[in-house]
Amino acid sequence: MSVAEATLADPVVKPAARDESLDALKAATTLLVVFHHTAITYGGAGDWFYREVPQGGTVSSDLLSLFNTVNQSWFMGLFFLIAGYFTPRAVERRGVAGYLKERALRLGLPLLAFGFVIGPVTVALAAVGRGKHFTPTLLYLWRHGRFLPGPLWFAEALLIFAVLFALVRRPAPVIGFPSNSMLLAAALAVGLSAFCVRLIFPVGATVLAMQLGYFPAYILLFASGCAASSWPTLDAAPDAQRRLWRNIAWLTFPVIPLTAIAWRHVAGANADFSGGLNVPALIYAFWDPFLAWGVIMVLLYRFRRRLSSRGPLGRALGRCAYGAYVLHPLFVVGVAVAWRDVAALPLAKFLVTGSLAALASWLAAYVCLKTPGVRRVL
């Protein structure tokens, strides 16, 4: 799984000079998060509240798993990068105490609301899909004080990062975009660190709802965003450098599916990419950053060039994205459960459920933002 866009709740440093391309990119990536979790519902790789189709054994499951594997390589890392980019200026503007108070409000309150209300309701909806009853399940979870952060693990992680930044912050030196050598060293360091962490915490294993196996990249990208806070834009890569890493990403992309196919033929079993002392886990650990660097650079460039100015609808979609992220599990699970008995191809269900859930999530977020006081949180 993956998925709480507290970067979507990044502090507004200078409203008049807001980078609308980043808002558009966060909204588009939030939409991808909705489809990411919908893909798990219908056979894709990952952890989610409800599965209608088991993972593996079909072409559609393999395609949805590849879709999710590619997403996982970069989309949460991008959110951490953007969050880091706004952090130093937010601390400078608000002061340490003001910044931490704002983070507690915009990250902590949604985390608590999801953990104690939205999460249990989502689990109860998923229970209906498995033939159980909604109300007894929900009451059981509440009686036992179950805290279910779900995709709001991201808000939890950013709260931790915010406190650490406030404790260790130093004046940020003015730096230029990292060289190819530095990007290569960073990718190798992230890959090696991820491989080592996954020896203890394989993909899927959580600590306080966070998959630590992905955190080497998240930490590096958040720190990189902080270091880049003096840049006028995150899209600072020279054209030649961006093209190089775009090409590296294209060359990297087929490595995982080819490894999976080859492993089935050579070893006679499915490759275990999740962790451990094995070749697939080693390949996957390094595959992530070599794909992610190019994807992130290209997306920052594309959105900066094409969506630096949006109309009222675009701004509304961006403004509602954080709320949609917080609320989307209810609608992904709810829509999937509602038509679980309808016979249809998993890929068709993926497209329909994802589209309806995304529409409902944004509409619900829009309505919530009309409620007095909610705008300060979402």
Q: Work out the average pLDDT over 198-211.
A: 96
Cα-Cα-Cα-Cα torsion 301, 306, 307, 312, nearest 10 degrees, comes to 180
Are 110 and 139 a contacting pair, CB within 8 Å? no
Residue 2 resides in a domain: no
Predicted local confidence at residue 56, as pLDDT: 86
Cα–Cα distance for residue pair 106/129, rounded to 1 Å: 32
For the stretch 120-145, pLDDT in tens is 999 999 999 999 999 999 999 999 99
Residue 92 resides in a domain: yes
Cα–Cα distance for residue pair 212/137, rounded to 1 Å: 29
Are 218 and 80 a contacting pair, CB within 8 Å? yes
Residue 131 resides in a domain: yes
Predicted local confidence at residue 312, as pLDDT: 77
Are 180 and 283 a contacting pair, CB within 8 Å? no
63: pLDDT strictly greater than 60: yes
- Per-residue pLDDT band for 209 (boundaries 50, 70, 90) equals very high
What percent of the chain lies above the pLDDT cut of 70? 94
Q: Work out the average pLDDT over 214-234.
A: 95
Q: Work out the average pLDDT over 263-284.
A: 91
Count of structural domains, the chain = 1
Residue 193 resides in a domain: yes
Q: What is the mean pLDDT of the chain?
A: 92
Predicted local confidence at residue 306, as pLDDT: 82
288: pLDDT strictly greater than 50: yes
Q: 């965003």: which residue's tokens? A: 225
1: pLDDT strictly greater than 70: no
Predicted local confidence at residue 291, as pLDDT: 98
Boundaries of domain holding 122: 7-376
Give SS3 for 207: strand
Cα–Cα distance for residue pair 49/36, rounded to 1 Å: 13
Predicted local confidence at residue 2, as pLDDT: 39
Residue 1 resides in a domain: no
Could you say which DSSP state residue 339 is in? T
Residue 217 resides in a domain: yes
For the stretch 79-105, pLDDT in tens is 999 999 999 999 999 999 999 999 999
Predicted local confidence at residue 40, as pLDDT: 98
For the stretch 306-349, pLDDT in tens is 876 667 777 888 899 999 999 999 999 999 999 999 999 999 99
Find the angle CA(326)-CA(294)-CA(171) to the nearest 5 degrees.
Answer: 70
Residue 139 resides in a domain: yes
Tokens of 260: 């999976």
- Per-residue pLDDT band for 15 (boundaries 50, 70, 90) equals very low
16: pLDDT strictly greater than 50: no
Cα–Cα distance for residue pair 21/253, rounded to 1 Å: 26
Cα–Cα distance for residue pair 190/220, rounded to 1 Å: 8
Q: Work out the average pLDDT over 54-74.
A: 95
Are 180 and 244 a contacting pair, CB within 8 Å? yes
User: CA 50 from chain center: how many Å?
Assistant: 18
228: pLDDT strictly greater than 70: yes
